[in-house]
């Protein structure tokens, strides 16, 4: 992986389970890339995502944002188009936006749609669905309140969704953030995911957890401590 990665890895005790605060300090200390790396939280959950009643998915607003301004498109017409643009949407449209995406344009991070246009947006299911970009009423991205939806996403609202292997990956900020900011963001995400435990999930819900930066090694977290301190 290179000398810089090896040097960063030597700072991590592979046999230790770190507290969240300790892990964040190590992550910040071991960063070495020339760019501002993203700090990511990974949580291995005791669920079976193949079962609809065990799908863990939702959104959470980070107190200090992600460090990245999300690019948001909105499917809307008339006054709602004006509202979305006023809130900072990067691109707003209807048939023209659908056509643009069908031709291969995917230069955005989130999509919002008014309910009356979802029949039209549904044609993009095979394109947006696999990428986690399909507007969803459960996530607040199918709504007539498009101004609020766009503002929240721009301010640092992130989605979490369990993958096939039962793992959730969520960004909690940038290495340039203060340790306290990263801690508060991470606690907010962990708390939300712990509270999202499906009623049908049996046994231990949080199996493993780790933190890492874009180019850095993974740092294992003390999951028992996380469950004790958070998710209440």
Domain boundaries, the chain: 3-65+157-229, 72-155
Contact indicator for 117, 20 with CB cutoff of 8 Å: no
Q: What mean pLDDT do residues 54-81 have?
A: 93
Is 70 exceeded by the pLDDT of residue 1?
Answer: no
Contact indicator for 195, 19 with CB cutoff of 8 Å: no
pLDDT at 177: 94
pLDDT at 86: 97
Binned at pLDDT 50, 70 and 90, residue 32 comes out as confident
Is 80 exceeded by the pLDDT of residue 5?
Answer: no
Q: What CATH architecture does domain 3-65+157-229 belong to? A: 2-Layer Sandwich (3.30)
Contact indicator for 144, 80 with CB cutoff of 8 Å: yes
Q: For residue 64, give the nearest of 178, 144, 193 by alpha carbon.
A: 178
Is 70 exceeded by the pLDDT of residue 231?
Answer: no
pLDDT at 232: 55
SS3 225: helix
Measured distance CA(219)–CA(211) in Å, rounded: 5
Per-residue DSSP letter, 203: S
pLDDT at 191: 94
Among residues of the chain, what percentage have pLDDT more than 90? 73
The model carries a pTM of 0.83
- Inter-CA distances, 19 with 11, 63, 204, Å: 15, 20, 19
CATH T-level assignment (fold) for domain 72-155: Rossmann fold (3.40.50)
What tens digit of pLDDT does each residue of 129-184 get? 998 899 999 899 999 999 999 999 998 899 899 998 999 999 999 999 999 999 99
What tens digit of pLDDT does each residue of 169-222 get? 999 999 999 999 999 999 999 999 999 999 988 889 999 999 999 988 889 999
SS3 45: strand
> What are the φ and ψ backbone dihedral angles of 185, each rounded to 5 degrees?
-65, -45
Is 80 exceeded by the pLDDT of residue 36?
Answer: yes
* 53-86 burial: b if 16+ Cβ within 10 Å, else e: ebebebbbebebbbbeebebbbbbeeebbebbbe
Q: For residue 41, give the nearest of 230, 204, 232 by alpha carbon.
A: 230
């Amino acid at each position: 992986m290179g000398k810089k990665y090896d040097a960063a890895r030597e700072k991590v005790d592979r046999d230790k389970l770190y507290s969240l605060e300790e892990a964040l300090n190590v992550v910040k200390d071991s960063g070495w890339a020339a760019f501002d790396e993203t700090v990511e939280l990974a949580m291995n959950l005791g669920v079976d995502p193949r079962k609809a009643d065990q799908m863990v998915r939702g959104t959470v607003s980070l107190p200090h944002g992600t460090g990245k301004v999300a690019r948001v498109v909105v499917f809307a017409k008339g006054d709602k188009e004006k509202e979305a643009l006023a809130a900072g949407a990067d691109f707003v449209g209807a048939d023209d936006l659908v056509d643009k995406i069908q031709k291969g344009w995917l230069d955005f991070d989130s999509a919002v749609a008014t309910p009356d246009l979802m029949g039209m947006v549904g044609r993009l299911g095979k394109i947006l669905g696999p990428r986690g970009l399909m507007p969803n009423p459960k996530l607040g991205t199918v709504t007539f309140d498009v101004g609020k939806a766009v503002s929240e996403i721009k301010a640092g609202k992130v989605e979490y969704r369990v993958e096939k292997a039962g793992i959730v990956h969520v960004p909690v900020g940038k290495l340039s953030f203060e340790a306290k900011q990263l801690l508060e963001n991470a606690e907010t995400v962990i708390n939300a995911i712990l509270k999202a435990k499906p009623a049908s999930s049996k046994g231990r819900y949080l199996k493993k957890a780790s933190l890492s930066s874009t180019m850095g090694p993974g740092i294992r977290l003390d999951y028992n401590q996380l469950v004790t301190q958070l998710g209440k």
